[in-house]
Structure 1
């Protein structure tokens, strides 16, 4: 009996040690998994910001070209300043949105082809995009040629409309620079060659500053000087980037001009138009809000407050356009390479960064709610109107930290048409009608208008999160492989399925 008790005691002790060792082993395994995840997230974050940092600089550089010209246009008459402003924001802005959107199709195609090692197809895709965007430039020419009657149709001041029409004729060379620049920009971005785009944009900005000073201040060429400076600077960007390509710094990717560029133009055009609609619906949504704000009571105060918030919104966009481009490249590269888990992981990492930045901007606006409008105006009524927008504006900036990133995921995966429908519903069926209802019948003024905008963007962000969450990344990788094979690639890329790789390895993310 004593021996049985002793044996039972030893068995209990053995079981206790066994349970303890098992729990300890499980804890160690969980700790290793967390540590591995954090290390991999750190490495992926480095890859994303290696792309995003120079892309942000390049976006700011190009965004500043028009802003610099407006500053120098302050040396002109008020009428000439209004003409330059209207031409840049309305006529050129309309064309810019379409060209930028259509060029974004290359983020999908070049990114996936580069990931699949079908390097020769990048040059072919670039040339196809040039053909399509040049044709679109020709289609957009009437907007430049008939800018005056178009502006008069929308009840613009006759003198401003007349002078803007003259200025728009001067700006036609810039339109064709758009058509060549955006495909080159996406072509280089897909290869992670972001430093050259940043360097060329920085050099173009310096060149642009000098040219504006020379032509507007020294030579006093007025509208013609402003137009020459912008045209020359945008063509400087185009030629600078193309020279880099032509000098052989993209080996295996650029092999000269090819007849393949004229094949599959129909399918390529469809994807380009989908990209343009996706982008333009968003750009035009903000423009329409400003137009509607002009019909509010105290319209000058309302438009000024909206313009200040839109200005800040635009500068924040430059940061998240950079993240948009970075995640688009990462997703398209990984899907093209047949690594869906790596693509999914990259999305998670970039969302962590963007949400952190969004919280920072939210807190900043709320903390500075009474003063963030002061640098833009001396009018206390405008400052007060901007202050009253602080909470809804802060929420807008927070959502704007997530939405462009998810749009970048959509571009990388090739969902442009799907997101175009989402934008149409959220912005034009929800955002604008709700903003109008709150601003006019319910008499909530500018705050009501911006609340409508917030509702539209909020719904769009929620839908994008749901789409991304429900995405079958294995299927998206197989779609990328099919697209590459169909449009000229020679090798079908094997897809590494999620169930075949239970954990991310460093070679999955390389």
Structure 2
């Protein structure tokens, strides 16, 4: 996990769920609803198969309480009041504990305790500018630190100090920054940001995310684009099949894996590296076993079940064929989701991006070959086959990265081999207890927009095809404001961790301004090129006409979609993501979907009615979330951040 500004211990909790859904509920990831304040259950377990003894690394000068169950030790970390009566420990082997102790003494002798602390707090955020760089820039902007070439050339290398040799000049630069910052805080000197500085930081951090999310989105885009030219029914079939796969399979898998966001991060923070590998394998095994009944239903009963909801029988047949082929790749998807979290808990966030840079173009190439190639192409089934193969390639790519990476975190230190069969189901109830909120939130996200697909299927086959195309365009346009949202949440969290709430307000305003610029650009592109965009996806004149008539509504929606993303990012950074999540659920399920149904079927507005209803929901979300962002109790927000900081320090 990455830290905030160097003088704080606040941990960033933002993470991104990779999916093929376009749902706006992704603004609030399921981990946001799984206890974000360290009051969660932490499971610690070690195997003692060879009879070796274990030693405890004492926390809070407490005594050791051993809880053993068949060689497996576990303990609970309760709330702050309970901790006064309960001892808290994490277990390490004697050799590892002694080695860590010797290294700690040597490090302090070489660099001093202050620089040692700096090293522990100096992990670079792979998606953002280094935090020490941002902290230095704020000091320079406020004329508290000279703008010298030395500070600019040496500061970036400091973030590597915890892993490599520390140069004396690095120590001097780091000490200057921390000392100057602390002196300013102690003396009450204001440290404020500016609109220019926040624009630079948010834009710089959002730029790589835009490419990442577009690549992520291209996985579904390639299938829609390749199949759309086969015919209207094929496009409807791949849309219905993808929707069913998302709701009944991929969403539940992602929800189950969200328990690792909590468990692995806490195990790694407690330096219980072996437990990280155990948890990853346990979650993967349980998830695959849980999917087996779903796979059976996909193979044997999907056509029958879909026919209960979808009037077009041929669409159900095509969707069922899509599900049978896609099922072959789902285990690979499970391994990728678990492997991604295995690396993220160690502070390696860029691995999945690297894999996507390779697998996304391969997916597009496979779609062309398997769908359209005259020699080996198989038509419609080529699209799900490409998806299934790509899932496995993503998993294999992540595995190869983990094994061969030269990253200084050395991720293989958390891998102690394949776990034993008797370990798979230990503590699975605690894991499932953390996963259930994640399943609910992910399912709510997926289900919301997929309900619109079911509505469209009851209009006509052409309407379903048009709905699929408009959804794909909306999802693609959403990637830029969503990237700004993620960048905003990180920056706001950093500033709140540093108690700079006035600068935080500036950041929120800049985020809204940038979202307006991006949404205006998206709106102009969609309106101006709506004819070309529609014809790019389909050759069917009826489908093209429906898409062209709906795109102006989608263009208008861009304004509020971007505002919704921006304000949601601000709320996440403030640590008030639950407020945004509840606003989303209320606006979407109580306003958006009911209004979409009424406008579509009662007022005969067709596909346009579906999107007009969702636009109304986004207007409500933007207004309510914007009010929550700028009218929150900043004292309470800062106080809550300090509590999280202190809890994080005690656990780590």
TM-score by length of 2: 0.56
Provide the aligned C-alpha RMSD in A: 4.6
Matched residue count? 450
In structure 1, what is the Cα distance between the partners aligned to 2:453 and 2:413?
46
In structure 2, what is the Cα distance between the partners aligned to 1:40 and 1:125?
38
What are the within-5 Å matches in structure 2 for residues 28-177 of structure 1? 37-49=194-206, 53-69=207-223, 84-92=238-246, 94-100=248-254, 103=257, 118=269, 120=271, 128=279, 131-132=282-283, 135-146=286-297, 147-155=302-310, 157-158=312-313, 161-162=316-317, 164-177=319-332
What are the within-5 Å matches in structure 2 for residues 451-462 of structure 1? 451-462=612-623
What are the within-5 Å matches in structure 2 for residues 19-30 of structure 1? none
* 2:387 equivalent to 1:230: yes
SS of 1:249's partner is: coil
**1:313 Cα offset (Å):** 0.2
In structure 1, what is the Cα distance between the partners aligned to 2:605 and 2:381?
43
SS of 2:451's partner is: helix
Deviation digits for residues 170-227 of structure 1 (CA, Å, limit 9, x no counterpart): 4334323333323544565677755543332121134335555666644456677655
1:351 to 1:48, Cα distance in 2 relative to 1, 3 A:
farther
Deviation digits for residues 117-169 of structure 1 (CA, Å, limit 9, x no counterpart): 94847996686466446534543443332123322332465555456445434
1:404 to 561, 565, 572: 565
Q: Which moved more, 1:401-410 or 1:76-85?
A: 76-85
What are the within-5 Å matches in structure 2 for residues 374-413 of structure 1? 374-377=535-538, 385-409=546-570
In structure 2, what is the Cα distance between the partners aligned to 1:63 and 1:323?
16
**Alignment-derived partner of residue 290 in structure 1:** 453
Q: Which moved more, 1:140-149 or 1:73-82?
A: 73-82
5+ unaligned residues in a row in structure 1: which ranges? Answer: 1-27, 492-510
> Which has the larger share of helix?
1
5+ unaligned residues in a row in structure 2: which ranges? Answer: 1-141, 144-189
In structure 2, what is the Cα distance between the partners aligned to 1:415 and 1:445?
37
**Alignment-derived partner of residue 362 in structure 2:** 207
**1:379 Cα offset (Å):** 5.8
**1:430 Cα offset (Å):** 1.3
CA contact (8 A) 2:466 2:544 kept: yes
SS of 1:154's partner is: coil
TM-score by length of 1: 0.70
In structure 2, what is the Cα distance between the partners aligned to 1:58 and 1:107?
20
CA contact (8 A) 2:587 2:617 kept: yes
* 2:403 equivalent to 1:239: no
**Alignment-derived partner of residue 314 in structure 1:** 475
CA contact (8 A) 1:54 1:198 kept: no
1:398 to 1:162, Cα distance in 2 relative to 1, 3 A:
same
1:292 to 1:95, Cα distance in 2 relative to 1, 3 A:
same
**1:240 Cα offset (Å):** 1.8
What are the within-5 Å matches in structure 2 for residues 107-506 of structure 1? 118=269, 120=271, 128=279, 131-132=282-283, 135-146=286-297, 147-155=302-310, 157-158=312-313, 161-162=316-317, 164-185=319-340, 193=348, 195-209=350-364, 211-212=366-367, 217=373, 218-220=375-377, 227-247=384-404, 248-249=406-407, 251=409, 255-257=413-415, 269=432, 272-296=435-459, 299-300=460-461, 302-330=463-491, 341=501, 347-368=508-529, 373-377=534-538, 385-409=546-570, 418-469=579-630, 470=632, 472-481=636-645, 484=648, 490-491=651-652
